[in-house]
Amino acid sequence: MATRTAGDPDDAKIVFTELSPTILASPMAKLGTPVWAEVIRHWMAAQALRLRKLAQDLAGGHSPDRDTQCERIAALSAAYERAGHPSFSIDPKAKAHLGKLCRAGRVRSTQAFRAFEHDCPRWADGVLIPHGMYARVRNRGPMNLGLSHDTSPCACDRFRWYGHRIGKRGSPQATSSLWLCDCGGSHAAKTSLCKHALQLRAEQRGVEMRVAHDPSYGSKDNLLERRLLPHLTRACQGLWFDTLDTVVTLMRKAATSTGLRTTGKVIRRHYETGRKATEHLKQNLKIVFDHLLPKWNYRAIPQHATVIN
């Protein structure tokens, strides 16, 4: 056995061993205490010594405004729920490859599915760009699967599709919608192209679109990370994405007994990369920034829209 103390002095000492109960049984016998591996396994369980994976919960940095923004997001979410207006948590995820490339996880089967011996991208049949959304009130989690690039116009098109498919149908009288995003990626807080595209979508729909970004280093606080992604991971583990139909079917199976329902939609539109926001575009943005932490909170307000403060 060994102990290791994490960098934070407030953390308790971690007791760990890289030896299995079977391996530990041999030196125990040489020390004059013969014991079965099963006995060691039960003792380890009683001491909470069980197999664990690394917990990815250390923030890469700290934002002094984190608590203030988290409170702001909670207040906005509560206000929109009381008003009967839709709110969504959105986040793009890591790219995935189509084809018989190996994937993490296990599945019950009479024999193992066969995958390529190496994860070589050139053996893939294509690339998928998953973009998820979670609507807490309705407990719905649609997934859009892009085949092109995750750009700012792409992200805003997903705003429009989500708003039409879930927001408009679930709340047809709503005059505003709330979008909770992280700070990076195609809908980053600093991206002028995304704000411009957002304004266009708001004008097209005639509905205010309010955006609140998770604070820096706080993307794990997003509801989607806790309420949707674990179930998607469960539904897809141990299976390769051999066809688009397979992926869509797996996404739709991520439902739960507590009412979560998921969907999968393939987005075939092509999006160009490398676009830059011009100075003229930046100067003519009609985005209205909040007084509180404007870098993370703003609204795209169409003409004659009703504003929710």
pLDDT tens column, 68-109: 999 999 999 999 999 988 888 888 788 888 998 888 888 888
Q: Is residue 38 part of a domain?
A: yes
How far is residue 243's CA from residue 224's CA, in Å, rounded to a whole number?
25
- Average pLDDT score over the chain: 83
**Are 90 and 45 in a shared domain?**
no
- Does residue 307 register a pLDDT over 60? no
**Are 175 and 45 in a shared domain?**
no
Which residues constitute the domain of residue 38? 18-52
Q: Give the β-pairing of 96-98 and 87-92.
A: unpaired
Runs of H (alpha helix) within the chain: 21-30, 37-46, 66-83, 152-162, 169-170, 192-205, 223-227, 229-236, 244-252, 279-283
**Are 145 and 198 in a shared domain?**
yes
Enter the tokens of residue 198: 């957002």
Q: Is residue 228 part of a domain?
A: yes
Handedness of CA 153, 159, 162, 163 (dihedral sign): negative
Number of domains the chain is built from: 2
Cα three-residue angle 72-73-74, rounded to 5 degrees: 90
**Are 47 and 172 in a shared domain?**
no
Name the 3-class secondary structure at 195: helix
- Give the tens place of pLDDT for each residue, 181-191: 888 777 778 88
**Are 78 and 161 in a shared domain?**
yes
| Residue 56 identity | Q
Q: Is residue 259 part of a domain?
A: yes
Enter the tokens of residue 24: 């530990």
Share of the chain above pLDDT 70, in %: 88
**Are 135 and 43 in a shared domain?**
no
**Are 36 and 183 in a shared domain?**
no
Enter the tokens of residue 182: 């992280």
**Are 33 and 72 in a shared domain?**
no
How far is residue 96's CA from residue 115's CA, in Å, rounded to a whole number?
15
Beta partners for 288?
Answer: 299
**Are 31 and 159 in a shared domain?**
no
- Give the tens place of pLDDT for each residue, 196-207: 888 888 888 788
- The backbone torsions φ and ψ at residue 188, rounded to the nearest 5 degrees and listed phi first, read -60, 150
**Are 171 and 119 in a shared domain?**
yes
- Give the tens place of pLDDT for each residue, 123-145: 888 888 888 889 888 898 888 88
pTM for the full model?
A: 0.77
CATH of the domain at 165: 3.30.420.10
Q: Is residue 308 part of a domain?
A: no
How far is residue 42's CA from residue 49's CA, in Å, rounded to a whole number?
10
